[in-house]
Copies of this chain bind each other. A is one copy, B any other.
């Protein structure tokens, strides 16, 4: 009987060609499977909750996998983190992947299918000067953004809607584009505008298109009330631009 294991992981998406494994590219899935397979002595495949694009980060991503390796699961976190980071002189060179926890879960638990919802965070740095040291971690917007308009616009997203306007064109055909946004918050912290969206499931690029549209509201190119019509249009061209990947963080997954 194989053990079913849930890993919670954090990563910096900057130097990954996304989460999903791809030939000849460095991916989060590829790096984790390589190490797990080495420990197991056989090929191990993991199932993530959410595919994230190149440049997108995860403060907490979940993956499940099965194996029968005789290693106490509570030690797996340390073993894996040791494999990812290197020592150089007296210092540990920290990796861009960090295992937050490893635990055994019931055999019917699945990182993706068992998830009931998740929260994404998006960080906009709204300042006159860009911050070179955060260029891979925020969306730099130099134009003045009207925070109150953006806040008002957020309220129109909450609830069950057909979010077809907020899906990248060319997405795989799917049963429905109806999704439920259960919570959406926006706050200003110094020069940052931080947006958090919670929902059951998300369409491809949905959060990034929502944020791009909010930025256009903040710039005065769209009105907060326009969000209602954009949703009704069910057409990608009605919404704003797709905000860049580096401001997006997968924050939490609910089971």
Contact indicator A11/B94 (Cβ below 8 Å): no
Of B94, B135, B140, which is within 8 A of A132 by CB?
A: B94
Which residue of chain B has the shortest Cβ distance to A14 in the bound complex?
Answer: B133
Task: Report chain B residues within 8 Å CB of A10.
Answer: 132
| A57 in contact (CB, < 8 A) | yes
| A112 in contact (CB, < 8 A) | no
Of B96, B132, B241, which is within 8 A of A12 by CB?
A: B132
| A130 in contact (CB, < 8 A) | yes
**With A and B bound together, what is the CA distance between A130 and B100 in angstroms?**
11
**With A and B bound together, what is the CA distance between A241 and B96 in angstroms?**
25
Contact indicator B140/A133 (Cβ below 8 Å): no
**Copies of this chain per assembly:** 2
| A90 in contact (CB, < 8 A) | yes
Task: Report chain B residues within 8 Å CB of A91.
Answer: 244
Task: Report chain B residues within 8 Å CB of A130.
Answer: 94, 98
What does the 1/0 interface line of A132-143 toward B look like (CB < 8 Å)? 110101001000
**With A and B bound together, what is the CA distance between A28 and B165 in angstroms?**
44
What does the 1/0 interface line of A35-70 toward B look like (CB < 8 Å)? 000000000000000000000010000000000000
Known contacts A91-B244, A241-B90; decide if A137 and B133 are in contact (CB<8 Å).
Answer: yes
**With A and B bound together, what is the CA distance between A244 and B133 in angstroms?**
17
Most B-side CB within 10 Å, residue of A11, A91, A94, A132: A132
Which residue of chain B has the shortest Cβ distance to A92 in the bound complex?
Answer: B140
Contact indicator A94/B137 (Cβ below 8 Å): no
**With A and B bound together, what is the CA distance between A57 and B137 in angstroms?**
17
Task: Report chain B residues within 8 Å CB of A135.
Answer: 12, 94, 96
**With A and B bound together, what is the CA distance between A96 and B133 in angstroms?**
8
Contact indicator B90/A57 (Cβ below 8 Å): no
14 A–B pairs (Cβ distance < 8 Å), ordered by A = A12-B132, A12-B133, A12-B135, A57-B133, A90-B241, A91-B244, A94-B130, A94-B132, A94-B135, A94-B140, A96-B132, A96-B135, A98-B132, A133-B137
